[in-house]
Structure 1
Amino acid sequence: MKGFYTTFCAFLVAAPMHVLAQDADVEAGHQEFTASCAGCHGETGKGDGPLAGLLGIETPSLTLITKRSGGGDFPFYNTLKLIDGRDVRAHGGEMPLWGERFQASATSQRGETADMVARGRILSLVYYLASIQEE
């Protein structure tokens, strides 16, 4: 029974940390979005950024990713791969291949590789995009 209580107490302590980690991921993603994406997709992600009119394509609303994928769960992995663009060049056109851009500009002070830094920036973006989906 002692093992149960130890596990249960550890769960209670860890659960709030998980929520805080998610909030931190979303906030980091919001900052990345503002710096890298809002120029085209707009501050709210609806495709109405100040540069959107200069593009040769209609800039999509990023608040409708779940709806466009058929509803249900947010397509986390697919969104991650599309933003990265290094393995799946489906977005093409005028959207940058963020994996390449982030990797090229990566700096680390703790020994991460450029690829690790790029993937972390993209991951934070995906967490943020998941948080702004319209019902």
Structure 2
Amino acid sequence: MRKLIIATSRPDAVYSTGYSIIEPLKNCSIVFLKHMLVSNHIEKQVYARLTGTGYPAINENDLKEIKFPLPDLACQTLIGGELTEIEKTISLYSMYSNLLRKQRRGLMQKVLAGGMELGARFDAGIFRESALAGEIR
């Protein structure tokens, strides 16, 4: 269950039969449910019920049998909010990490091309061409 789309209810929309449409009832927060649906706890239960090999699927009745912890609505709201904040933080760190990787790649290209002064100790002229096989085992 790697893809989860949360949409507002649209009675005029036509939905694909390749997806399960899950709508929380009054005692279940949609944000809390979203986090539960992508948790390992539920993922293990879904995988145990999948049928088919080429296009694994779970039928609606099996999906309805999946169990998950459901605290009261106030607690769900608190947990869902905290998990959403953590998700945002993870996303920001991921973007920052990607930017640092790009910066590192650019720096390495400049250094190896001899286009960047790094001081006498790291003069680009000290680099020699070498086969990887001769440098590792």
TM-score (norm 2): 0.26
By percentage of residues, which structure has more helix?
A: 1
| Largest Rg, 1 or 2 | 2
Q: Which has the higher contact order (CA 8 A, sep 6+)?
A: 1
TM-score, normalization by structure 1? 0.26
